[in-house]
């Protein structure tokens, strides 16, 4: 995809997420890695009304080149890209069910969601919890950097999910699986539940 097509893809994904209530208000941000830097959604922008020409362009070091000022959460994206050379796109949401799970006590910080469905296992695999830190704080970017080495999908405590993918489609599909699985976990709370067995998990292609 050339840059124009990538910009259109960012706008289309954002609009779809907004239309389905997955990015309330001006929450959520998307970025794509280019050959010489990044294109990112601007700060304070609504996913429902992005202008492809006003998306922020950053150089390879994360410096703002042109377009609107990038999201304040850009350090999270940059930390993940640095740790994951295979990542070409990142999506971060404050989607309701994933945030709800991110607020629960007694989750496993090494893998927050259980293996309920095969597509979750294939697209996400494991979901480590990143300890809470104030948005925009350098401590949060450093905590993301640590966990990004071991997983392309992370859940920020009391905040929301962030997912890197080889493509924007892959990152968006994975973060939607997190939201759906979080919803299932809450629907099934208190009900006897069959998880995928170790043998069934072994048959599924692990997520990258």
Catalytic residue among 83, 119, 132, 180: 119
Q: Give the rounded distance of the alpha carbon of 6 from its chain centre.
A: 17
DSSP class of 43? T
CB atoms under 10 Å from CB of 86, counted, come to 10
| C-beta of residue 27 within 8 angstroms of C-beta of residue 93 | yes
| C-beta of residue 164 within 8 angstroms of C-beta of residue 85 | no
Q: Count how many residues are written for the chain.
A: 208
- 53 in catalytic set: no
Catalytic residue among 73, 176, 177, 179: 73
Enter the tokens of residue 101.
Answer: 């799970």
Residue 183 CA: distances (Å) to CA of 58, 73, 178, 190: 35, 25, 9, 14
Strands (E), 41-174: 56-59, 64-66, 89-92, 129-130, 153-156, 160-165
- 119 in catalytic set: yes
Q: Give the rounded distance of the alpha carbon of 19 from its chain centre.
A: 18
- Distance of alpha carbon 142 from alpha carbon 128, whole angstroms: 15
- Distance of alpha carbon 27 from alpha carbon 96, whole angstroms: 11
Give the catalytic positions in this structure: 73, 119
């Amino acid at each position: 995809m050339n840059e124009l097509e990538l910009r259109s893809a960012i706008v289309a994904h954002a609009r779809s997420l907004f239309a389905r209530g997955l990015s309330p208000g001006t929450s959520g941000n998307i970025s794509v890695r280019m050959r010489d830097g990044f294109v990112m959604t601007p700060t304070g922008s609504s996913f429902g009304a992005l202008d492809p020409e006003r998306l922020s362009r950053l150089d390879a070091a994360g410096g703002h080149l042109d377009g609107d000022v990038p999201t304040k959460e850009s350090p999270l994206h940059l930390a993940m890209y640095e740790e994951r050379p295979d990542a070409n796109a990142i999506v971060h949401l404050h989607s309701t069910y994933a945030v709800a799970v991110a607020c629960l006590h007694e989750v496993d910080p090494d893998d927050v969601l259980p293996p309920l469905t095969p597509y979750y296992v294939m697209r996400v695999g494991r979901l480590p919890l990143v300890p809470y830190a104030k948005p925009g704080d350098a401590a949060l970017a450093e905590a993301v950097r640590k966990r990004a080495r071991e997983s392309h999908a992370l859940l920020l405590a009391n905040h929301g999910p962030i997912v890197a993918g080889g493509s924007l489609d892959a990152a968006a599909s994975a973060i939607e699986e997190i939201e759906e699985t979080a919803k299932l976990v809450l629907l099934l709370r208190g009900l006897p539940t069959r998880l995928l067995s170790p043998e069934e998990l072994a048959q599924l292609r692990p997520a990258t």
